[in-house]
Amino acid sequence: MLTGLLLAAAAFGSALQITDRRVLLDQAKLLDAEVALAKSNKSYLYFDLSSNRVELRIQGVMLKTWDVADYSQWGRPLPSGSFKLEKKEALRTPKRKNITPAADKNKDEKNGGVDLEVLELKDMPGHFNFEFEKGITMRFKAVPHKLSMRLGNFFNSLGRLLTLPMKTILASLRKSNFTDIQLVLRNEIDAQGLYWAAEDGMSVLVLRK
Amino acid sequence: MKKKLFLAAAAAIGLFILLELGGLALEIFVYSKSGGETLAPGLQKKTSAELERRNKANRTRLRECRPYGLYVVVDTAANRLSLKKGEAVVREAVISCGSGDVLDEPGGTRRWTFDTPRGGFAVQSKLVNPTWIKPDWAFIEEGEKPPSDYNSRIDNDSLGDFALGFGDGFFIHGTLYTRLLGRNVTHGCVRLGDKDLKYLFESVGLGTRIFIY
């Protein structure tokens, strides 16, 4: 009985040591990458999946935080580390307005701010993907507050349920990497804010759960 | 009829469970075949104590990258400017940032995108009663030909009482159009109301860091 208890305690202790070492290695990898990034004038995103938080940082300073309400993952687990955001994609990407000389002359400034044809936060999509190298995709959406959003999310989840097993099989057959992560943000404004802040080619640090 | 409906529902639920279980089994299979992640060999060989020391040193390096004293944060999405010291917000202001509009030179090759630049900058100049030397786009946008005469480009009224330059012709300055503060309407500069601009101008010195996102 006592031997059994001692063995169990030893096994538990060993498991804790392995976890501690994994955390230390993750931290070492991320700190190495962040120190290099912090020397530049470019901002970077920090996905702290262990705390369900996304942060925008620059030179070690946290500029903005978004809370993650829900998180799910398919395919090969995402390791902690540094990644490059290759492309942000959305079904409805915001379009820039082309100014027609003279026709728009001071229009924005004379009309009292009504019907300004400019690109603002409200024009950003609340549902979008980040495509990374090595077959990694992060999908973002917001907690639905309207019926239309709930319906959209339902069909989106249904689509994922049907397509993700296929994609996993295909990736296994091709021996390529496939990781699909879905992050649900607290509200649509948060999601739009993250889309606004992210830029193609941006560096992203990920601390896994 | 009821029996058919019941059978269809049962088949749908069965299919759903099958897909879920299949997906789960696949995930476990792929995970077991993934062979683990790759780590820099230098890190893998280090002991836990060495890793702890290394992490502590890197945290110190990271702290040293952060600004000492006051710094400015510009949120171009919310059109808000914050003057901060450490984590504390010293002052917040409503601003106007770039419209994101595009202007093509008629019959020419030049194109301008009116975005406020993003990233890390520093205050490079501090001007009182600044004069705006209107660039070509300011004339083209109004359907006019850019003048060759320098004096025709001088505008003493548009930038307000003060301006803080942060490089490449971009400034934090005042505005005549205060009702548009809070909207994205500028050609890339950051516009501020008179009182906030005065406070900012008096608070920051040359070299103060500006973070724009």
Of residues A111 and B60, more confidently modeled: B60
Backbone region of residue B79 per phi and psi (left: phi > 0; alpha: psi in -120 to 50; beta: other values): left
Of A42, A90, A193, A121, give the one whose Cα is nearest residue B99.
Answer: A121
Q: Which amino acid is at A165?
A: P
Residues contacting residue B199 through CB under 8 Å, at least 6 positions apart: B83, B91
Instruction: Please report the pLDDT score of residue A174 as a whole number.
Output: 83
Minimal-distance CA residue of chain A relative to B47: A21
Partner-chain contact B101 A96, CB within 8 Å: yes
Q: Which among B118, B178, B189 is the top mutation candidate for probing chain A, defined by the most A β-carbons within 10 Å of its own β-carbon?
A: B118
**Of the candidates B58, B143, B211, which has its C-beta nearest A101's C-beta?**
B143
Alpha-carbon distance B102 to A118, whole Å?
10
**Which amino acid is located at A32 in the chain?**
D
Give ipTM to 2 decimals.
0.84
Chain B residues within an 8 Å CB radius of A21: 48, 51
- CB within 8 Å: B30 and A168: yes
- Which residue does chain A place closest to B121, by CA atoms? A41
Residue B24's pLDDT band (cuts 50, 70, 90): low
Strands B190-192, B88-98: pairing kind: antiparallel
A166 pLDDT higher than 50 = yes
User: What stretches of B48-161 adopt beta strand conformation (E)?
Assistant: 70-75, 80-85, 88-98, 102-104, 111-113, 119-122, 125-128, 132-133, 154-155
User: Left, alpha or beta for A6 (phi > 0: left; psi -120 to 50: alpha)?
Assistant: alpha
A133: left (phi over 0), alpha (psi -120 to 50) or beta: beta
Q: Does A193 touch chain B (CB under 8 A)?
A: yes
- Return d(Cα B77, Cα A154) in angstroms, integer: 29
pLDDT for the residue B169: 94
Q: Which residue of A has its CA nearest to B78?
A: A121
**Cβ of A4 under 8 Å from any chain B Cβ?**
no
What is the enclosing helix (H) or strand (E) of B171?
A: strand B171-173
> Is residue A11's pLDDT more than 80?
no
On the question of pLDDT at B33 being above 80, the answer is: no
pLDDT at B31 over 60: no
Residue B54 vs residue A111, higher pLDDT: B54
What is the pLDDT, as a whole number, of residue A58? 98
Q: pLDDT above 70 covers what percent of chain A? A: 85
Backbone angles phi, psi at A104, to 5 degrees: -100, 10
As a whole number, mean pLDDT of residues B58-70 equals 96
Predicted pLDDT of residue B55: 95
For chain B, domain boundaries: 70-212
pLDDT bracket for residue B39 (50, 70, 90): low
- Chain A CB contacts of B180 below 8 Å: 108-109, 113
Query: HSE of A48 in the Cβ direction (CA atoms, 13 Å)?
Result: 13
Query: Between vectors from CA B124 to CA B121 and to CA B126, what angle results, nearest 5°?
Result: 125
Residue closest to A180 by CA, chosen among A78, A45, A52: A78
Class of domain A2-207: mainly beta
In the predicted structure, residue A144 carries a pLDDT above the cut 50: yes
* Amino acid, res. B41: P
Rg (CA), chain A: 22
Mean of pLDDT values over A115-137: 90
Residue A7 has pLDDT above 70, yes or no: no
pLDDT on residue B66: 96
Residue B188 has, within 13 A of its CA and on its CB side, a CA count of: 18
Identify the band that residue A131 occupies on the pLDDT scale cut at 50, 70 and 90: very high
More confident residue, A33 or A23: A33
Q: Which residue has the higher pLDDT, A148 or A55?
A: A55
Looking at per-residue pLDDT, the higher value among B40 and A131 belongs to: A131
**What pLDDT sits at residue A113?**
47
Interface membership of B76 toward A (CB under 8 Å): yes
Q: What are phi and psi of A96, to 5 degrees?
A: -75, 150
| Least confident residue range of A133-142, A166-175, B129-138 | A166-175
DSSP 8-class letter at B116: P
The CATH number of B70-212, from 3.40.720.10, 2.120.10.70, 2.40.440.10, 3.10.450.50, is 2.40.440.10
Percentage of the residues of chain B whose pLDDT score is greater than 70: 90
b vs e for B160-170, b when ≥16 Cβ sit within 10 Å of the residue's Cβ?
Answer: bebbbbbeeeb
Q: Is the separation of the CB atoms in A204 and A47 below 8 Å?
A: yes
Is the per-residue pLDDT at B65 higher than 60? yes
Handedness of CA B191, B197, B201, B204 (dihedral sign): negative
Taking only residues 91 to 130 of chain A, the set having a beta carbon closer than 8 angstroms to any beta carbon of chain B reads 96-99, 101-106, 108-109, 112-113, 116-121, 124
Average pLDDT of the residues in B83-87:
96
Confidence of residue B45 (pLDDT cuts 50, 70, 90): confident
Q: Does B206 touch chain A (CB under 8 A)?
A: no
Q: By CA distance, what is A194's nearest residue in B?
A: B77
